[in-house]
């Protein structure tokens, strides 16, 4: 998770530079860091399920070496097939009562699995060069 934190900080710095300069190169660098942050998070989610994840891949129709996985969305879907409850549940800061720590669950304002997948896919279009005969990626208005 140290890598995730470092990439988030780098992404914030690139976004700040983009805001200051309006240089698309800073925006694309920020996007790359955010996408790699999501991938690193998905890869970290394999750790507690690594044996089951490996077995799942070996039993697939097209058996693949799970150590070569990189696509965050596909990793989450594979983990979901192994353990439908694998996705972390966000918590609020701990509170102490009667010498015991308690963690309430956060109810909103966090990255759900569905939002993770949508965000991951949405960032992907910015990782490739523009095709001059293709569609505008909407960099100036990133609603698309």
Asked whether residue 136 is domain-assigned, the answer is no
User: With b meaning 16 or more CB within 10 Å and e meaning fewer, what string describes 7-41?
Assistant: beebbeebbebbeeeeeeebbbbbbbbbbbbbbbb
Structural domains counted in the chain: 1
Asked whether residue 141 is domain-assigned, the answer is no
- Tell me 67's DSSP state: G
Asked whether residue 97 is domain-assigned, the answer is yes
Q: How far is CA 54 from the centre of its chain?
A: 21
Asked whether residue 132 is domain-assigned, the answer is no
> pLDDT-derived band of residue 11, with 50, 70 and 90 as boundaries?
very high
Asked whether residue 133 is domain-assigned, the answer is no
Q: How far is CA 66 from the centre of its chain?
A: 18
Asked whether residue 138 is domain-assigned, the answer is no
Asked whether residue 137 is domain-assigned, the answer is no
User: Considering only CA atoms, which of 80, 81, 82, 53 is closest in space to residue 68?
Assistant: 53
Residue 79 has pLDDT above 80, yes or no: yes
**What pTM was estimated for this model as a whole?**
0.78
Asked whether residue 144 is domain-assigned, the answer is no
Instruction: Read off the pLDDT of residues 80-125 as tens digits, 9 standing for 90 and up.
Output: 988 888 888 899 999 998 999 999 999 999 999 999 999 999 998 8
Determine the structural domain holding residue 87 and report its residue range: 2-127
Q: What span, in angstroms and rounded, lies between the C-alpha atoms of 140 and 1? A: 32
């Amino acid at each position: 998770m140290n890598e995730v934190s470092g990439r988030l900080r780098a992404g914030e710095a690139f976004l700040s530079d983009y805001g200051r300069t309006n240089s698309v190169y800073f925006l694309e660098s920020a996007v790359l860091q955010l996408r790699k942050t999501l991938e690193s998070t998905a890869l970290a989610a394999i750790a507690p399920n690594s044996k089951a994840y490996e077995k799942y891949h070996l039993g697939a129709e097209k058996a693949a070496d799970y150590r070569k996985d990189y696509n965050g969305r596909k990793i989450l879907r594979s983990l979901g097939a192994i353990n439908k409850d694998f996705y972390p549940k966000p918590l609020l800061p701990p509170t102490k009562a009667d010498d015991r720590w308690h963690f309430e669950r956060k109810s909103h304002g966090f990255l759900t699995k569905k939002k993770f997948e949508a965000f991951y896919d949405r960032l992907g279009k910015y990782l490739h060069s523009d095709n001059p005969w293709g569609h505008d990626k909407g960099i100036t208005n990133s609603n698309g």
